[in-house]
Amino acid sequence: MAGSQRGGWSGGAPAAPGPAQAFSALPLAGCHRRFAAGEALFLDDEPAESVYQVSEGVIRLSKMLPDGRRAILRFLYPGDLAGLSFGRHYALTAEAVTPAVVRSWRRRALDRAAEGSADLRHRLSAHLGRELEAAHARLVLLGRMSALERVADFLVWLARHQRSATRLSLPMTRLDIADYLGLTIETVSRTLSQLKRQGMIALPGPHEVVLLRPAALRALAGAGDEDQAPLPRAA
Amino acid sequence: MAGSQRGGWSGGAPAAPGPAQAFSALPLAGCHRRFAAGEALFLDDEPAESVYQVSEGVIRLSKMLPDGRRAILRFLYPGDLAGLSFGRHYALTAEAVTPAVVRSWRRRALDRAAEGSADLRHRLSAHLGRELEAAHARLVLLGRMSALERVADFLVWLARHQRSATRLSLPMTRLDIADYLGLTIETVSRTLSQLKRQGMIALPGPHEVVLLRPAALRALAGAGDEDQAPLPRAA
DNA sequence: CGATAATTTGATTTTTCTCAAGACGCGTGG
DNA sequence: CCACGCGTCTTGAGAAAAATCAAATTATCG
């Protein structure tokens, strides 16, 4: 019964604006499972029996078109949930990007727990609402933003999921990033190089990025107008 | 208490695959309101006080970037809900595309009703789950599909929301369609003309489309492979 | 340390956008 | 009921963005 007046169905729950909207541990045992990099938690169209919460590592959620094109819908970081809110069958594929540890629950157990706990229900509905809002933000990104804006947005988003807000690790490959941003690997690579030339970032290695001018990057990501960054116009 | 074992939080509710996932009338009075074409139901960032269900007409949900670019996230048809599942403030704008009639409820009233009805909760969660799945399908569309595929997909989607599955009315402007598909009005227009030249559709007027080869169109929409349509290669 | 895979970079093509003009349709008022 | 005017839609030409094809370079992992 704890906190049962917080939020409601129509969206009263405050949309967490802060870093990594972690979903605190569910009040159920759940079982821990470990996945190797590249291993699938579940596949698109498979009967949906479990719900997962990431404990360690990074997971990617993707959908494949019949001809092999792939779209990555979301990267999950610790605290994020997977497998929630779909039909009898999973509607997407979840795979580990890095070695990962997840907790899993049988859906039926979770459903039963939700029946009995208004607090749990509110947290689940708030979570789903945040997921929908995140999806909407990404629709704007994919529908109306340039490659430069997409990459900048991605870096800014990543920064909010890491310890250090300026030294980022990019555990995913360029192909993963491309499929997430609706670009090709070449365009992602070229855009990162461009940001480096402009002094916005440094690239110590292919899987590390240092944000040198985070504010300018955020301006790029937020919209087309990046007036606050005069750009030294490096070669 | 009716139907309280149908579906659950983790997604047991069958994702309606059929036509127009209508959300049957909520078990609350609600008040009817009428909106003229172009009029806003609510604006992005405005305090969120009501939830709406479309009774008649078409509504568009959109978000604007600071520099004026617009993305339409979704078109709502009768039965669809707007204003659900967001924070204290609306996270998008809802405007009438055509003259429209909607029912509205105070969010607090709806929240209270949901507290007391497991059935209502299930229907709301199922609705939210379908919205999320629809958003994911659109992420694939915007991220990985060509202009031709996007337009074909749009027409196929529209057909599922109309009486006649082959004679469609397009109440929205080309600009609306462009902002929905992440294209420009010129590209939308050119793509429709191309489909007409190929004998896939007829265009009796700017706001009417006749699907001449719905199966071929569906093949175009579903993926890149449209082998079942040999194309007569019209001029 | 070496083989393989991932990434970067370059050249070229394709797609889509932008700019521009003309056609069409619709609503209004005569 | 028809003419007029405005806004929308279509079409064309050229430019820009991103994709594709191709090769060289650099990581990564056994």
> Which member of A132, A136, A223 has the closest CB to residue B66?
A223
The encoded tokens of residue B39 equal 């009029």
Q: Are B64 and B44 in contact (CB under 8 A)?
A: yes
Do the chains contact at B86 and A11, CB–CB below 8 Å?
Answer: yes
Residue B48 near chain A (CB below 8 Å): yes
d(CA A106, CA A110): 6
Do the chains contact at B67 and A223, CB–CB below 8 Å?
Answer: yes
* Residue-wise DSSP of B141-209: HHHH--HHHHHHHHHHHHHTTSSSSSEEE--S-HHHHHHHHTS-HHHHHHHHHHHHHTTSEEEEETTEE
Asked if B220 CB < 7 A from strand C, the reply is no
What's the CA–C1' distance between B143 and C8, in Å? 23
Residue A23 pLDDT: 59
Do the chains contact at B9 and A92, CB–CB below 8 Å?
Answer: no
Beta strands in chain A (DSSP E): 31-35, 40-42, 50-56, 59-64, 70-76, 81-82, 93-96, 100-106, 167-169, 201-205, 208-211
The tens digit of pLDDT for each residue in A96-140 reads 999 999 999 999 999 999 999 999 999 999 999 999 999 999 999
Residue in the block written with tokens 């990543």: A158
Do the chains contact at B85 and A10, CB–CB below 8 Å?
Answer: yes
Closest-CA residue in chain B for A64? B140
Residue B223 pLDDT: 62
The low-confidence residues of chain A, meaning pLDDT below 70, are 1-9, 11-28, 85-86, 223-235
Share of chain B above pLDDT 70, in %: 82
Residue A164 pLDDT: 87
Cα end-to-end span (Å), chain B: 62
Instruction: Report which of B187, B202, B97 is spatially closest to residue B149, judged by C-alpha positions.
Output: B187
What's the CA–C1' distance between B205 and D3, in Å? 22
Q: Are B168 and B206 in contact (CB under 8 A)?
A: no
Residue B29 pLDDT: 74
SS3 of A67, please?
A: coil
Helix orientation angle between B185-197 and B174-181, rounded to the nearest 10 degrees: 100
Do the chains contact at A139 and B136, CB–CB below 8 Å?
Answer: no
Q: Exposed, middle or buried, A63 (CB in 10 Å: 0-12/13-18/19+)?
A: buried
d(CA A224, CA A118): 42
* Residues contacting B36, CB < 8 A, separation 6+: B96, B99
CA angle A121/A126/A127 to nearest 5° reads 100
The low-confidence residues of chain B, meaning pLDDT below 50, are 1-6, 12-22, 224-235
> Which member of A8, A124, A222 has the closest CB to residue B114?
A8
Interface of B with A in 82-121 (CB under 8 A): 83-88, 91-92, 107-108, 110-112, 114-115, 118, 120-121
Nucleotides of C under 7 A from a protein CB: 6-11, 15-20, 25-26
Residue B9 near chain A (CB below 8 Å): yes
Neighbours of B152 (CB within 10 A): 25
Residue B150 pLDDT: 98
Neighbours of A146 (CB within 10 A): 12
Distances (CA, A) of A32 to A28, A78, A111, B120: 12, 13, 19, 33
Do the chains contact at B144 and A69, CB–CB below 8 Å?
Answer: yes
Sort out which chain A residues have CB atoms less than 8 A from B150's CB and list them: none
The encoded tokens of residue B99 equal 């003259």
The tens digit of pLDDT for each residue in B172-200 reads 999 999 999 999 999 999 999 999 999 99
Sort out which chain B residues have CB atoms less than 8 A from A92's CB and list them: 136
* Residues contacting B164, CB < 8 A, separation 6+: none
The encoded tokens of residue A106 equal 């049988």
Q: What are phi and psi of B38, to 5 degrees?
A: 95, -20
